[in-house]
Amino acid sequence: MAALRVVELYSGVGGMHYALKESGIPAQVVAAVDINTTANRIYQHNFPQTTLWNKTIEGISLDDFNKLSFDMLLMSPPCQPFTRIGLQGDVTDARTKSFLYILQLLPRLHRRPRFILLENVKGFETSCARERLVETLKDCGYLFQEIMLSPTSISDVFPQTGSSGQDSVVHSVSPPEASSQEDGVLYKLETVADVHRKSTQNRDQSLRQIGDFLEPQTEVDIQQFRIPPKTLLRYCLLLDVVKPSCRRSVCFTKGYGRYVEGTGSVLQCQLDTEMQSVFTGLELCSEEQKLERLLKLQLRYFTPREVANLMGFPQSFSFPDQVSILQQYRVLGNSLNVVLVSRLLQLLVAEHEGSHVSADLLSTSSSI
């Protein structure tokens, strides 16, 4: 098959580009577009030969798009208008404007792309933006599928090709909720169902252990990634703590390293200390006693390189020297799982070669 000409919108640090390379599909990214200057600096650092447009998507004319004459469109529009913990502004959110602009342009292109892959968060599937996307795809005669999944469940999830205008949503199956406290004493602010779900995930032998994604100790200044005492005392009950032997983690977001709740897991480095012994009765301790207990776990943040590893970025991916650690966390939190997207691209091209097809990926994007 001839090399596909690919346009990568909302290119960020190049997650889609890496997924395309990982997929093995003969392709060339003829243009990448993003307005985030830090992300663009990282993208150019890793893909110096790719044409990168540092401009708004609305600033690209129909004529400019037509000149690119592309076969595949990859995009990961801003998720903030749809995320469940946000304001859910949907199409009224200014950050959705560029996506709506793309939907206006698509029917007017002289040569529409054969393949489209879009990634977003859970919440997009119930949005007005999604409805407009579906209407546009139908009007353009595309076949499309919608998939909601986690990187832990990418096998056998791509549904059979539907007919033009048909869509189906595939939900990954969540572990059943526990009806009894079978996984030990509850500590921290976790429910019985939380403990059971995490325990079930950690027993899944098909998943690699966290330790496989860690940097060698000799290459990391671990002290700079330790959880500060003030953070430990204030947020210890909210921390999602994992060990190197675990096979799960919380999805890493752009707030990792700055905020605690729901932004990503932290790593327990002292494995001789049982977490239950630290947290049981912790509320009865003085602050000094609490801190003494908590420090025994030697908790630390994952390094940006480790987060990138968990998200499937290859070892060739790197950051320019001038990008700070917090900036690295931020751009990674805005990215996607490379392995998951590469698999979807393989399935998209293999099963639908020769058709106008759009794969609309609705990803819950956990980290492993």
Q: Please identify every residue annotated as catalytic.
A: 79
Classify 230 as helix, strand or coil. helix
Q: What is the 8-class DSSP label of residue 264?
A: -
Burial class (CB in 10 A: 0-12, 13-18, 19+), 338: buried
Distances (CA, A) of 217 to 214, 221, 306: 8, 8, 12
Angstrom distance (rounded) from CA 242 to CA 179: 24
Distances (CA, A) of 5 to 68, 74, 144, 306: 8, 11, 20, 32
Q: Amino acid identity, residue 291?
A: L
Q: Are 154 and 147 in contact (CB under 8 A)?
A: no
Q: Are 248 and 195 in contact (CB under 8 A)?
A: no
Q: How many CA atoms lie within 13 A of 304 on its CB side?
A: 22
